[in-house]
Amino acid sequence: MLSLLLAGWLAFAAPPALEVDMLSGERLQGELVELTETQLVLKSGSDSRAIPLAQVLELRQPRPPVPVPKGPRVELTDGTRLACRDVTVTRDKAVLVLHGETEIPLPANRLASIRLGESTPALDDAWKELAARESKSDLLVIRKEDVLDFVPGVIGEFGEKLSFLVDQEELPVAREKVYGLIYRRRNTPAAKNTLSVGLATGDQLKATEVLYAEETFRVKLAGNTELRLPADQVVSLDLSAGKVKYLSTLEPREVTQVPFFDLPREVERDRSLLGTPLTLGGGCMRGAWGSFRRPG
């Protein structure tokens, strides 16, 4: 009886299997042993298999989401999103301090936005709308109850206070009055062959290199900053370098609901109308279910 209970506990405690999507459409499962610049080693049972990265599209390691730690949420111009413990900006340099005390120095022109205020569904929508605006100025975002407002200007140094330039006049703004900062869009050169690393917190890293050994991911960001992440913090690794996109990962420009037997029909992502996984030829696949048309 004890052996059965122990076996059941071990099965429950075992980490979820890594899913590997191949460019051929095949999906593999197993335990990640090693990831180098050219290949990954996948273990299934007692067998290990070396797979060239040129044949791999994506790695996924399903794990339950973890709460986002309190602190500034920073987005960079390359799409990197990070929850930080602190952020400071002095002249042309920014320093991100992560919750693990890792510091990431980077040029200030790589900052896209810094969000200090709390997150709610309504505020999230308002923030996304402001961040998507075409603006020739930086935006100082302030909160008025459940509404976000902004003041255009030029963002200066940012620490305990914010230096903000409006109509050639420099205004000091207390940090606690700042909901967020959105930088005007800059023409920064895009890094080549970037890899997208998804974290359990919902953060995303745009990396130039990702290695794995001894249950630790080594993620190199632009500027040669290297982060070391425990295996349980990483949930996905996109190796497609933006060349391949699943339909289910794209946001539609417009959605029109057509009731079916008086029931609304949502666009299903990676699922059929009945909620079951999409399949093709006996294997699971990714995509979207619904009725689509080309614009125009």
For residue range 10-29, list pLDDT tens digits in order.
Answer: 333 344 479 999 988 899 99
Is the domain of 79 the same as that of 166? yes
- pLDDT at residue 116, rounded to an integer: 95
- pLDDT at residue 71, rounded to an integer: 92
Is the domain of 154 the same as that of 201? no
- Looking at residues 248-265, what average pLDDT do you find? 65
Is the domain of 57 the same as that of 82? no
Q: Is 85 part of a structural domain of the chain?
A: yes
Lowest pLDDT segment from 75-89, 220-234, 273-287: 273-287
Is the domain of 201 the same as that of 120? no
Confidence of residue 157 (pLDDT cuts 50, 70, 90): very high
pTM of the model: 0.73
- With vertex at residue 283, the alpha carbon angle to CA 280 and CA 287, rounded to the nearest 5 degrees, is 55
Is the domain of 46 the same as that of 82? no
H helices, E strands: number in the chain: 2, 24
Lowest pLDDT segment from 35-49, 125-139, 204-218, 236-250: 236-250
Is the domain of 97 the same as that of 154? yes
Domain that includes residue 255, residue range: 245-296
Lowest pLDDT segment from 125-139, 171-185, 229-243, 266-280: 266-280
Lowest pLDDT segment from 45-59, 73-87, 96-110, 246-260: 246-260
Tokens, residue 39: 């290949």
Q: How many domains does the chain have?
A: 3
Confidence of residue 233 (pLDDT cuts 50, 70, 90): confident
What is the torsion angle, in degrees rounded to the nearest 10, for the CA atoms of residue 114, residue 119, residue 122 and residue 124? 40
Q: Is 237 part of a structural domain of the chain?
A: yes
Q: Is 187 part of a structural domain of the chain?
A: no
- Looking at residues 198-208, what average pLDDT do you find? 91
Tokens, residue 49: 């298999």
- pLDDT at residue 285, rounded to an integer: 56
Tokens, residue 11: 């099965």
- pLDDT at residue 99, rounded to an integer: 83
Q: Which residue has the higher pLDDT, 291 or 152?
A: 152
Tokens 């599209």 — which residue?
57
Is the domain of 38 the same as that of 90? no
Q: Is 190 part of a structural domain of the chain?
A: no
Residues in the chain: 296
Q: Is 6 part of a structural domain of the chain?
A: no
Is the domain of 173 the same as that of 110? yes
Contact call for residues 139 and 173 (beta carbons, < 8 A): no
Distance in angstroms (rounded) separating the CA atoms of residues 219 and 226: 6
Distance in angstroms (rounded) separating the CA atoms of residues 42 and 28: 9
Given a cut of 80, whether residue 262 has pLDDT beyond it is no
Q: Which amino acid is at 190?
A: A
Q: Which of 136, 159, 182 is the last residue of a domain?
A: 182
Is the domain of 153 the same as that of 199? no
Is the domain of 44 the same as that of 114? no
Q: Which of 182, 203, 229 is the last residue of a domain?
A: 182
Count the neighbouring beta carbons within 10 Å of the beta carbon of residue 2: 6
Confidence of residue 288 (pLDDT cuts 50, 70, 90): low
- Looking at residues 60-86, what average pLDDT do you find? 88
Q: Which residue has the higher pLDDT, 247 or 125?
A: 125
Tokens 């940012």 — which residue?
158
- Looking at residues 114-142, what average pLDDT do you find? 93
**What is the helix (H) or strand (E) element at residue 162, kind and residue range?**
strand 161-166
Q: Among 82, 76, 86, 150, which residue's Cα sits nearest to residue 112?
A: 76
Q: Among 70, 69, 73, which residue's Cα sits nearest to residue 182?
A: 73
Is the domain of 143 the same as that of 48? no
Confidence of residue 100 (pLDDT cuts 50, 70, 90): confident
Q: Which residue has the higher pLDDT, 77 or 244?
A: 77
Is the domain of 95 the same as that of 164? yes
Distance in angstroms (rounded) separating the CA atoms of residues 17 and 14: 9
Phi, psi (degrees; rounded to nearest 5) at 274: -85, 0
Q: Which amino acid is at 135?
A: S
Given a cut of 50, whether residue 111 has pLDDT beyond it is yes
